[in-house]
Amino acid sequence: MAIDLEAWTQRMFVLRDDGDFLDEPLDTVLSLTEFLNAAGRVAETYSTRQIADGLWFLAGDSGLFRELYNPSVPEDLRVRCAAAIGRLYAQLFEPLCQNVLSHGENGDSVENALNTICYMWWDVFPTWGRPDDPVAHRIDEVLLGVMRDMLSSENAACVESALHGLGHWHITYSDVVESIVDEFLRQRPTIGVSLHDYARAARRGRVL
């Protein structure tokens, strides 16, 4: 399915009307995948504030990402969509977010609105994992993989975002989260004290 990406993006970033998003589950997953894979294009049209507001809506109130767990959509398409969230990070969050942290008092000095949704992406995302749902197993694995991969980012905001997400997912995948964070701390021993402490907190599921 080929979508009118410009029109679909306008629905997300300008209209944000829940009633406009009653597409069939398959169409939703395909549209999300196409948008995520070309996420960088929104920077050509929309301001940073508009992008931030649109992504808040996308991750949370739109409810679109719930279709990642809809068994009526072929799993390979849902997996592709989940993996494409990594493209959102690569094309928007990494190049456009300030290279600073947002948790605690750090947030007081952050001026870029995009940093806030980057930090809160996995907080407002419609799942923190479904380990008891067989339909969810592969999707959960891919989403955890996206977070793990972001820990190698050179932008501290993206690393913090991934740790924030992992901290929340600790409630459902404690062993996996602890293993990912342990490997991160081994691989990046020279990260700053604040980020190191946040990683340790995420490893225990103690993030806000």
Does residue 208 belong to any structural domain of this protein? Answer: no
DSSP state, residue 39: G
For residue 72, the enclosing domain spans: 5-203
User: Binning pLDDT at 50, 70 and 90, where does residue 20 land?
Assistant: low
- Residue type (1 letter), 134: P
- CB of 189 closer than 8 Å to CB of 181: no
The tokens for 164 are 């924030």
Give me the pLDDT at residue 66, please: 95
* Chain centre distance of CA 26: 20
Among 23, 92, 91, 87, residue whose Cα is nearest residue 52: 92
Does residue 78 belong to any structural domain of this protein? Answer: yes
Q: Report in angstroms the alpha-carbon separations of 159 from 5, 93, 132, 193.
A: 29, 11, 28, 14
Does residue 128 belong to any structural domain of this protein? Answer: yes
Give me the pLDDT at residue 54, please: 93
What burial class does residue 44 get, using C-beta atoms within 10 Å of its C-beta: 0-12 exposed, 13-18 middle, 19+ buried? exposed
Give me the pLDDT at residue 104, please: 75
Q: Give the C-alpha separation, 86 to 152, whole Å.
A: 12
Pinpoint the alpha helices (H) of 60-136.
75-83, 85-88, 94-96, 113-124
Does residue 185 belong to any structural domain of this protein? Answer: yes
DSSP state, residue 111: -
pLDDT digits (tens, 9 = 90+) for 174-190: 999 999 999 999 999 99
Q: Where is pLDDT greater, at 20 or 129?
A: 129
Domain count of the chain? 1
Give me the pLDDT at residue 4, please: 80
User: Binning pLDDT at 50, 70 and 90, where does residue 13 land?
Assistant: confident
Does residue 56 belong to any structural domain of this protein? Answer: yes
Does residue 175 belong to any structural domain of this protein? Answer: yes
Question: What's the pTM value of the predicted model, to 2 decimals?
Answer: 0.93
pLDDT digits (tens, 9 = 90+) for 52-78: 999 999 999 899 999 999 999 999 999
Residue with tokens 């948790």: 103
Residue with tokens 């994992």: 129
